[in-house]
Amino acid sequence: MRAGAAGIRSSHVQLVTGTLDPAIRQSMSPDDDPKEKIVDVSGEYRIQAPRGQVWAALNDPNILKQAIPGCESFERTGENELEAKVKARIGPINARFAGKITLSDLNPPESYRIGGEGKGGVAGFAKGGANVTLSEDGDGTILRYTASADIGGKLAQIGSRFVKGSAKKIADDFFGRFAKIVCEQQNAG
């Protein structure tokens, strides 16, 4: 990968408290704490590859599995549906999450919405989504995203500093790995 092939232009994390979605509350066990926090994350990344190649990579389960920190499995279960198992550390909590992911509002090669929900056993749950847009930037691509996640259970009990820091680290790790993989493909091709 060439120096400067991918870079973080900006990122933002916000944590607020919110109201628990009744559907999520029904899926919780009696031991789950009904506290909930909403985490908002946004960012912009420049990837040194054409937009079509970045779009294809965003829809390739093998590339996504490599890019997602702690991903143990990631497979397509339908045309726009995937399942994943991810081991993550959020603040002081280590957990394995099993989740379902859905792609919607597809507008190739410009944008899509990715939504998902996962349960991490006693650690709690996370449910959210992200809007992802791609725009051409000379010989590269600008990837922008805005994401929001509701978290509950023990995850919602830890301090907001840990949650915000973990959310930013996970996003930065994912996009850093993703950009590296795409740039390596571009340089090999």
Q: What residues does each domain of the chain span? A: 6-23+33-188
pLDDT at residue 14 greater than cutoff 70 = no
Q: Give 24 or 100, the one with higher predicted confidence.
A: 100
Looking at the DSSP assignment, which residues form a beta bridge with residue 128? 116, 149
- pLDDT band at residue 35, thresholds of 50, 70 and 90? low
pLDDT score of 22 = 45
Which of 188, 180, 185, 146 is closest to 47 using CA atoms? 180
pLDDT score of 81 = 96
pLDDT score of 25 = 40
- For residues 84 and 71, the answer to whether their CB atoms sit within 8 Å is yes
Q: What is the pLDDT of residues 95-152, one digit of tens each?
A: 899 999 999 999 999 999 999 999 999 889 989 889 999 999 999 999 999 988 888 8
Lowest mean pLDDT among 29-38, 74-83, 146-155: 29-38
Q: How far is CA 98 from CA 95, 117, 144, 158, 159, in A?
A: 10, 8, 26, 21, 23
pLDDT at residue 6 greater than cutoff 60 = no
What whole-number percentage of the chain has pLDDT above 70?
A: 81
Q: Give 68 or 189, the one with higher predicted confidence.
A: 68
Q: What is the mean pLDDT of residues 78-99?
A: 91
Q: If one looks up domain 6-23+33-188 in CATH, what number appears? A: 3.30.530.20
pLDDT at residue 26 greater than cutoff 70 = no
- For residues 44 and 10, the answer to whether their CB atoms sit within 8 Å is yes
pLDDT score of 9 = 53
pLDDT score of 24 = 40
